Structure 1
Amino acid sequence: MNKTVNINLGGMFFHIDEDAYLKLTRYFDAIKRSLNSSSGQDEIIKDIEMRVSELLTEKQKSDKHVVGLKDVDEVIAVMGQPEDYIIEDEERTNQSSNYRTVRKSKKLYRDKENGLIGGVATGLGHYFGVEAVWIKVLFLIFVFAGFGTGILAYFVLWIVTPEAVTTSEKLEMTGEPVTISNIEKKVREEIESLSDKFKNADYDKMGNQVKSGAERISSSFGDFVMTVFKIFAKFLGVVLILSGISTLMMLLIGVFTLGTNLSMDFPWQNFVEAGNFTGYPIWSFGLLMFLAVGIPFFFLTLLGFKLLAPNMKSIGNIAKYTLLAIWIIAVAIAISIGIKQATEISHENKTVEKKTINITTKDTLFVKFRYNDYFAKDLDHHNDFEFVQDSANNQLIYSTDVRLHVIHTDEATPYVQIEKSARGNSFTAAKQRAEKINYKVQINGNHLVLDNYLLTDVKNKFRDQEVDVYLYLPEGQVFKPDTSIQDYDDSDDSFFNLHFSGNYTYKVVGSEIKCLDCPADENDHDDIQENINEIDNDTVKEVSIKINGKEVLNSKKSSGKLTTDKDGVIIKIN
């Protein structure tokens, strides 16, 4: 039975049997002897210990795993024997054929030493083997062409990607094998680079900078700034945590309320379904929103906890990169759905139906709107849509998006033209959807009765379905509109100006429609409006008004103020 020893290697604790411990000790002693003449020996030994610790950690199967001779031999096989890596001069260094190397794949790290901000682009350049400038250009393209997604992607990568700090990590970042030779070479290069900086440094300038820096640090103002910064960091951490958790909770609720997972009907679910132009199930939108928006807020929440507790252990790299990959896929799918959504309403088309009204100009045409008391109890013009059931329990879309246009015609008899329009992914699809609109017009002798609503099946979805009714009237035609058309009249006021205060009779005369029985004050109102040149907040700045041939107001002679009712009719002159 062998004894076991607990050791601390590279910051990690291991259970190792006595024989393996002695062999590993001799191995490190041999490395130290081979590095006696090397500069930065302590740094090299530290990096080698960390690399050996990583290799032994990979071999641990459980917390109770005991490192044996086999494990140590396999680690030494990867790292190489110390006598193979005594680097005394550059000529010996270049004899790579004598080295035992084991190639490892690259790992993604942030190269903050060579990066401008967080080292993300430089690290990606090392990983993919391209110049960092092309990665930066790609981020800029996504910033401007991807509606700012480049900034979000950079921020997420900055959070999830670790920084290359140790020599081993820097070697892994560039794909070089992590062996004793490369570790020593890397450390020596860094020491020589630092030495060159000191040789070429302006010591007088550096001394002055150090002196002024020391004075600033020792000042109370510097302490105050640091305190404020720490407080701000804590406050920012709290804000990030609260906003992140609240957003994640709302998104989680949305996953269930937008789908059928709970077998429940929510008030807004039909409206979402009607606006779903893609045909994909509704729950997929909730899931996509949760992933595309929730993952960045999850990392923001982690950042908040990190600001509050800097020593908090981070989630593993596997989890980070898995979430990043899922987020990229979710954003890509969301963009494709958005394109499909826009495509589904890219075309508009209509159907046209013409009905002749068999009356003469001597006959008075009566026009009115009616409502269906099964769906509504009034003639209100909502100009939107809602979901209803008919008496046979069929699901329908109900809308009052109906408009009346009174227009002049050169034909001898009046007629009505019904135009039903809708949108679709093509002109054909839009026309087919328009044909499925249910709208009724009744002509009973000289009475024209129009529905104030339209209906269509729920499966047709809401695609801007609407109805425009064009009433064409010949010269001399007399017609009497009911007050029910007030909310639905969309005629050109220069041709037909409906008076809302009464149920009057009108006649087509030349280029306009005249009111035959309107009160004198309403008819005079039409003439008064033509003489008002400029009105600001009901105050007349330049006006000349005559009623029955008598001038009642002239702004050149006196100042005055008009008071009008809700329809713009003058009811008082001050």
Structure 2
Amino acid sequence: MKKNITINLCGRLFQIDEDAYELLQHYIESLRHSFGKSEGGDEIVDDIEARIAELFTELREQGNEAITIDHVKAIISRIGEPEQLTENEESDKSDKAHKFDSFNSAAQGVYDNVRKRTCGKKLFRNPNDKMVAGVLSGLAKYTDTDPVIWRLLTVLFSAFYGVGIIIYIVLAIILPEARTPEQLLQMEGKAVTPQHLADIVVDKDQSTTQKPNLFRSLFAIILKILFGFFVGIASIVAIILFCGFLFALVVLVSALTFPVNSYMPFSLQAMGLAELYETNPMILIIFVFSLFMMLLIPIYAIVHMLLSLSKKVQPMGIAQRIAWILLWIVALCSIIPCSISMAKFRHEQRTKEYFHTHIYQDVLMDDNDMDFMRHGEWNLIKAEDCAHYTAHGEYFDGNKSVRYLDTYNDECRAIYQVERKQAVEPGIYRLDCIARAEGPGSFVYAIGDSKMLTSIPAYGNRGGELAAQIKKELSHMLASDSLNDVGIDESTKEVDIKGMKFVLTDLHQDNKKKLKRICKGYGWSIVSIDNIVVTGDSITYGVSTDEGFTGHPYRAKWFSATDFKLTRTGDLPHIKNDKTRHPRIKRNKRR
């Protein structure tokens, strides 16, 4: 049983059903809204109302006592929707006016087509035809296209670094789902009328009984697998974010609780930020606030999504979701410059502390350089434009822990001279060491009665004379069963090359890798200075790149030297003469 209403339309009375009246009233209001801003719009609506009254009169003359919703639908389809009437009016005006060129006409046609497809619609996620979240089906409803097209495009874009999946997840977060019948009608661009509401309910019941085809089922399985994979990753990220939030909270509470100058864990002093807090606290405040926002917003969004899926809270609206995303982006843009400023401050602070606490002979150097110089009793004569003063990692036998004299300057401008003084008896001596250089201009020197120089061979850090000599001395080692067969002392693991004994650590009979590392050489060569005459009580020796001392320009980026050994090779000539004359004097006295 339906309720009838008596209406007055253009001075005529008609009996009409209640749902038909609501549809008619919505149609006339849509007409007034469409034509209200145009010139003569009210007259057009009045003419349409008069035409509807004439059609109602014809229905009554045919024996229809009451106008039903089917009669109103038929009349609306006969007259046309407001959008169609507006487009017809605009097309009439455009025919009277000037014509666009071909490009503008094509663009206008595309715009009109898109506007026609989306006019009066709202974008929702479609729950009635979804495979994962209903995003693509909602886009298909909004643009009046086939959902398969959108699904194929998603798969295609997903092949490009997962762009399609990322866009899908973002839209699934932003777009609300059409849950109520009113939202379903808005998604399709239909008027909210009792008849349309009834049709939505019937269509929903029919859609639940439809059986999906093979392609739809296969596509749904693929998308669900991909979506499940990213949901798993998102869950792991959420757990990590939550743990990071708890850790950041503990650090913040500790930093605020402990005094600024305290060395307790997580205090500002322990983290090296006490001075920054005193000089520029706003950087720390902005950093902490932005960090908490970056962690809390994703956690809140995930929890809210889970609660909405369980029907405990309403889903977020589009405006709320966009606001949270913009706020998270603002927090990210704030935390990046703060992090850069804090890292720069910590680097400057560490550099300042580092160099002010390690000074050796008025030269700033690190702890390793200072210890090597101090323990080796090396005196730093000159040090200009030197990146460092010692190094390790490329010792001739592959032992990366052995440290040696070394300096570096990419522009070949390092002036580096280091020496030490050794007490000796008068005599003739030889100085041996192993050294290497990237280019010419570095020298090993010895000062006895006079200054003697020998240049360091420039083999770079590959090969070198020492490696060639070791290969020659140990050429039969790979085929030998005993180290003694090739001149190596098995108890000390020493090899004698030109009078210098080199200890080959960790060398066993079956250890062939050690020999291979030794044969790389790393550019080392044996550098010797022979016939050093000493009539005093000491010899000074060292290395130098100073052109004023060596007389040669320095054109190397780096050089290295180590294993200095001083050997007495003979007596002074006048001492030998005294020993030969002394017996003759005694014989003369006996005579």
Task: State the TM-score, normalizing by the size of structure 2.
Answer: 0.36
Tell which has more relative contact order, 1 or 2 (C-alpha 8 A, sep 6+).
Answer: 2
The answer to which structure has the higher helix fraction is 2
Task: State the TM-score, normalizing by the size of structure 1.
Answer: 0.36
